[in-house]
Amino acid sequence: MDDSVSPPLCFPNLNSSCRRMLRPRSETVLLYTLLASASALTVALNLLVVVSISHFRQLHTPTNALLLSLAVSDVVVGLLVMPVEGLRHMETCWLLGRLMCAVTPYVSYCLLSASLGNMVLISIDRYVAICDPLLYSSKITLNRVKFFIGVTWVCSVVYNGLILMPHLGRPDRFSSCHGECVVVISHISGTVDLFVTFVGPCAVMVVLYVRVFAVVVSQIRVIRMRVAANAARTAPAAQSSEKKAARTLGIVIAVFLLCFCPYYYPAFAGADTSNSLSYFAALSWIMLTNSCVNPLIYALFYPWFRKAIKLIFTLRILQPHSREAKIL
């Protein structure tokens, strides 16, 4: 048999190696360019969010602390998850070894759960701000929000450690040849995970935002009825920023759900969740694009973010007392 026509191996020195799918050189260059661009853009945009909120003292608010936590998880997605997932799908081989095969899915699942937790906290924050504004400053404090952010991350780490414990112990147990990294979550575990990390949090977010929307509509009606009074002119000003924040964060959550819903398709379909599924790459990348979209939403709807970007790019943040700059 002519070896020149046989498919190349992931590891030529191993008889148990998986086969590698060759791509045209032009296609390979294009795919790697797109991967590098998507990863770099995701990291850069989210670092702008991290630097903005961390640097400017005026942005040290409970809501922005939640956005900061979300941006940190998106930075890790751009730095680690995107390159690794891209390498897996383009090379059609797992080249990073047994340890990375165990760690990478675990990190990815932790980021997913932490992001969902942050979204729930954002929904609660907006609910209290709109529906109970007089008690907002006493109920939602920066230290309290930081505590719940920490709890969210710890729960994510512990929970996903339990879900992926079999994979962490034996990352190669479903591999049919050397050069695969197959993660399989059984239908039972996948169904539990579906309700714990998706259906439950999503139900909370939808209920809270329906309530927020109803309150905003009722406030608008009251304002229109009292538009001739002086108090009516001040009330909208006092509430407008909160309503705009609720609208923007509502868009963030809606986009988040659109990106993450497809990822849970196997659990909805009653199948095991596995990264060896033929359509898993598409589901995974739809989810990953959310990490790049969030900062773009902030840039469109948050004036403070645009001001912060301008100060960062003009290097004015290096000036003394730049932390005290008026951003809001």
Q: What pLDDT digit, counting tens, does each position of 244-285 carry?
A: 666 776 777 788 778 877 777 776 666 666 666 666 777 788
pLDDT of residue 66: 92
Query: Using CA atoms, how far apart are residues 290 and 250, in angstroms rounded to an integer?
Result: 14
Band of residue 2 on the pLDDT scale cut at 50, 70, 90? very low
Quick count: other Cβ atoms within 10 Å of Cβ 4? 5
- Lowest mean pLDDT of 23-27, 38-42, 265-269, name the range: 265-269
Shortest CA distance to 178 belongs to which of 5, 4, 1, 20?
20
Q: Which residue has the higher pLDDT, 196 or 41?
A: 41
Mean pLDDT of 184-209: 81
Percent of the chain with pLDDT strictly greater than 90: 20
How far CA 141 is from CA of 60, 65, 135, 240, 245, in Å, comes to 11, 10, 11, 21, 17
pLDDT at 156 over 90: yes
The average confidence (pLDDT) of the chain is 82
* DSSP annotation of 314: T
Residue 235 has pLDDT above 50, yes or no: no
What are the residue boundaries of the structural domains of the chain, listed by start? Answer: 24-170+179-324
Digit-coded pLDDT (tens) for 198-215: 788 888 888 888 888 777
Q: Using CA atoms, how far apart are residues 70 and 104, in angstroms rounded to an integer?
A: 19
Backbone angles phi, psi at 9, to 5 degrees: -100, 155
- Tokens for 60, please give them: 């040290």
Using pLDDT thresholds of 50, 70 and 90, give the confidence band for residue 75.
very high
Q: Report the SS3 class of residue 77.
A: helix
Q: Which of 162-176, 219-233, 293-307 has the lowest mean pLDDT?
A: 219-233
Segments of 155-222 assigned E as strands: 184-185
Residue 36's CB is within 10 A of a number of other CB atoms, namely: 13
What's the CATH code, domain 24-170+179-324?
1.20.1070.10
Structural element, H or E, at residue 27: helix 25-55
Which of the four pLDDT bands, split at 50, 70 and 90, describes residue 145?
very high
Over residues 298-320, the mean pLDDT reads 86
Q: Give the range with max mean pLDDT: 146-160, 174-188, 306-320.
A: 146-160
CA distance 46 to 77: 10
pLDDT of residue 272: 61
With b for 16 or more beta-carbon neighbours within 10 A and e for fewer, the 246-284 pattern comes to bebbbebbebbbebbeebbebbeeeebbebebeebeebb
Residue 253: C-alpha distances to residues 63, 88, 105, 187, 293 (Å): 14, 29, 24, 27, 11
Task: Return the pLDDT at 276.
Answer: 62
| Dihedral over alpha carbons 153, 292, 46, 294 (to 10 degrees) | -70
Instruction: Flag the least confident range among 24-28, 31-35, 291-295, 296-300.
Output: 296-300
Higher-pLDDT residue of 236 and 207 is 207
Residue 187 above 80 pLDDT?
A: no
Tell me what pLDDT residue 26 has. 86
Q: Residue 1 pLDDT > 70, yes or no?
A: no
